[in-house]
Amino acid sequence: MARKKRNRLNKKTLTSAEIDIYADYLKGNRKHSVPRKLSPEKQERKGGGVYPFGLSPAATPGPADRLKVTATVGALDLLSRFSSINYAKLGITTTLSDVTGTVPTGKAFAPALWIPTLGPAELVYSSGTSAFTGRNTRSANTRSGSIPFGRNTGANINDAKTGDAVASIAACDEEDMRTSLENMAAADASGGLEGGDQYVTKTFLPEEFYQISQDVTAEIGDYAPAAPVY
């Protein structure tokens, strides 16, 4: 399920003139265009599963301990540029039949995400104006993608505190994986990514379990619609 989005624009970060421009955008009077938008094919999602950090796995972890995750084809393309990081390193099983775990009742699951930004060997910069605030902008021909990850063990998966190899799936925490991924990605970038691409920057988002609904016993089918109240 999609993670809840947080709005980075607020009155503390905008001038009064920018607030007016942003209000105009919210009213639909200003349009935000997305340059180099991904094709529908690249926006297609593929599913797999991970052992989540927020739920304790069994002594011998199996399909019932995994939760479903998805990633766009575009994000998987970016992952393929790294030689040391693959689905197995991310703790992802690529077979949906090996994912039978369920999210706690009334909760939604948003996996931990590694969001690398990559670009070609020579970046091309362009200038513009923000539809949100009217500020001048400068962008490059880079591409970012959200790649999920979960608990894991194995080569280069190390304890963030001690540096020792993570001993088991149950012993692996989110910071262990985050630090391990950072180290592997940095090593790959230093040695050169596939196709000569460059690792521009990265972001990590934490795993979340959040409330999505309350228990409801009355069914929609039992309701007879009436005239709206205005």
pLDDT tens-digit map of 63-90: 999 999 999 999 999 999 999 999 999 9
Residue type, 196: G
Residue 114: pLDDT above 60? yes
Residue 202: pLDDT above 90? yes
Q: Between 162 and 10, where is the model more confident?
A: 162
Helix (H, G, I), strand (E, B) or coil at 209: strand
Q: Are 92 and 206 in contact (CB under 8 A)?
A: no
| Phi, psi for 140 (deg, rounded to 5) | -120, 165
Most confident option among 99-103, 130-134, 213-217, 226-230: 99-103
Q: pTM above 0.85? A: no
Confidence class of residue 20 from pLDDT cuts 50, 70 and 90?
confident
The Cα 169–Cα 150 span in angstroms is: 9
Q: What was the pLDDT predicted at 156? A: 96
Q: Are 84 and 129 in contact (CB under 8 A)?
A: no
The Cα 134–Cα 81 span in angstroms is: 35
List the beta bridge partners of residue 174: none
The Cα 128–Cα 135 span in angstroms is: 9
Signed CA dihedral, 215, 217, 221, 222: sign only: negative
pLDDT tens-digit map of 128-160: 777 677 777 777 788 899 999 999 999 999 999
- Name the residue with tokens 């005239």: 227
Give the chain's mean pLDDT: 86
